[in-house]
Structures are given as C-alpha cells and as structure tokens.
Structure 1
C-alpha cells in the first residue's frame, strides 16, 4: 500500500473552483482508496492505494471532471516524493510560507528557469518534478513570470512539510 497526495490545481472552498473538502473526501472514498482525508481547503487529497500513480491520477481526475463538468489538472505524489520535496528545499534560509514548490508533470530543466521573466528578488531552483521559488518579500507583490509552472500547481513549504508528515504516518 502506498500513501499518496493528489494535488488539484485551482480548487478551493470559494470562487470558480469551489469544492468542499467533505465532497473531495467522499470522491476519494468512492474511488476505493484507503485512509482518505483532506488537508486544508486548497485541493489536497491524501490517500492510500495499491494502484500506481497514473491510475490514482486517472481515477481522481475522472471524479473531479465529473464534479466540475471539465478537466481539472491533478498531480499525484507519493509520501517519499513529498519528503524529497521537503528535504530538497534549497531555500531553508527563507520563511517556509514564502517558498513555493511548483509541482509540474515533467522533470524540470535549467532551460525552464532561463525562460523566467520579470524576476525581482525571487530565487529559483530545480526540484523533483517541481520548481522551487523563494519569493523573499512575498508572493503577493511578485511579478515573476515562469512559463514552466503555468500548468502546474503550487504549495508553500509549510503545507508540503505537513502533508509529507501526514503521508509518512499513513504509509
């Protein structure tokens, strides 16, 4: 049995991507996953399954698409991968709330970082199927344009660390 988190893009409790976390939990249970729970109201579904990552993603994506009537990007990471995101954070000198792990589908490359525009005080680094960005003064004032993460989803390092710990307890 593997512990996974399914990270949904642009899902929250209000606005256009409204999805109550109780509904997300129910969807996970209907997919047949074990130990289903959510973490904060931003589209994080923690679960256990004997299925591989691709099948977990397919099942969650199908349920979410049925709810919204359109596809919603879903990114699945194992407990080990979430721990690797935490231990690989190169910006431990910044507040965890100001460091984002932008989760993407493919392994990141230096060329992706080279495409960044309007870089102010932000620092960027490659991670495991993610790009770390330290926003220094805060994400709210950043003008950073990073095309490689446009189709991904991001979580701050406080959330990543907490989910990694929760998943480790589930494994």
Structure 2
C-alpha cells in the first residue's frame, strides 16, 4: 500500500472551485483509496492505495473531481517524494525567514533547472528547480509578488500549484 499526496490546483480561492474537504475525502474513498486525510481547506490530501502509478492516481482523482463539478489539475506525489522535499530543506531557508515567504511549486510535469533560465524574478524573488519541483522565495511576501503562479506556469509550459513551506512540512509529517 503506497502513500500519496494530492495537491489540487486553485480550489477554494474565493468562489472559484468550491470543494469542502469532507467531500474530497469522500471522493478519495469512492475511488477505493484508504486513510484519506486533508490539510487546511486548499486541496491537500494524503491517502493510501495499492496503485503504484502516481499518474494513474492523479488521473482518476481528476476525473472524479470533474464528475463532481470541480475541474482542476491534480498534482500527485508519493509520500516518499514529499518527505524527501521536506527533509532536504528549502534551499532559501535562512535565519529569520518566515515560512510564508518560502513556497514550493509542484508542477504537473517535472521541471529541470534549465527550464527556469530566463524567468524574471523581480524584487529579489528567487526560484530554483530541484528534484522536479520549484522552490520559491518571496522576500516581500507572496501577495505582492510579480512572480505569480500564472507567470510560472506560462514560463514552464505546465500547470503548477504552490504551497508554503509550513504546509509542505505538515504534509510530509502526515505521510
């Protein structure tokens, strides 16, 4: 039985793609997956399944969500992958940096460091690709950033969803 983490893109942002986490847990159970737990209200779920293909798990969850009226991308990582991200540490961690200024972008398709070349990172913002994910530092905060998720998606040519470092660490702990 493998542990997986599902990261839903752009759910429960204002009136967009409303999805109660209880319903997400139900959908996961309806797919035959077990031990579904959610974290916060932003589409983070940890669960187990005997299926060994993360892509298959993501596709089945995306289809179930669409049938339920929520059309969104679903990025799925194994529990081991999320734990490895957290255990390796955020590359922009420094004394006094708030976790809210550290993000991890989870792309639908793995990203290489070369793909970040030419990405505009204004205002001292930084992006670094490692192990397929993109680590971000927003010294002025995410809310005023010019390096938005949409900008990152356009540059990379693949959907992404971002989580702050505290959320990544909590999800790793849930695995």
The correspondence of residues 5-44 of structure 1 with structure 2, limited to 5 A, is 5-12=5-12, 14-44=14-44
User: What is the aligned partner in structure 1 of residue 173 from structure 2?
Assistant: 165
Aligned-residue Cα RMSD (Å) equals: 1.7
> 1:159 aligns to what SS in structure 2?
helix
Do residues 131 (structure 1) and 130 (structure 2) align?
no
1:44-101 C-alpha deviation (Å, 9 max, x unpaired): 12100110212211211111111126x4111101111101211332012132221110
User: What is the aligned partner in structure 1 of residue 123 from structure 2?
Assistant: 120
Query: Aligned residues, how many?
Result: 166
Unaligned runs of 5+ in 1: none
Q: Is the 8 A contact 1:83 1:164 kept in 2?
A: yes
Q: Is the 8 A contact 1:103 1:149 kept in 2?
A: no
Give the Å deviation of 1:125. 1.0
Unaligned runs of 5+ in 2: none
1:141-169 C-alpha deviation (Å, 9 max, x unpaired): 111243227611010110000000011xx
Which of 94, 101, 106 in structure 1 is aligned with 2:109?
Answer: 106
User: What is the aligned partner in structure 2 of residue 67 from structure 1?
Assistant: 68
Cα gap change, 1:22 to 1:83, in 2 (>3 Å): same
1:105-155 C-alpha deviation (Å, 9 max, x unpaired): 333223322231252211111122210111011011111243227611010
TM-score (norm 1): 0.89
Following the alignment from structure 1 to structure 2, what is the Cα–Cα distance between the partners of residues 18 and 81?
Answer: 28
User: What is the aligned partner in structure 2 of residue 154 from structure 1?
Assistant: 162
Give the Å deviation of 1:6. 0.7
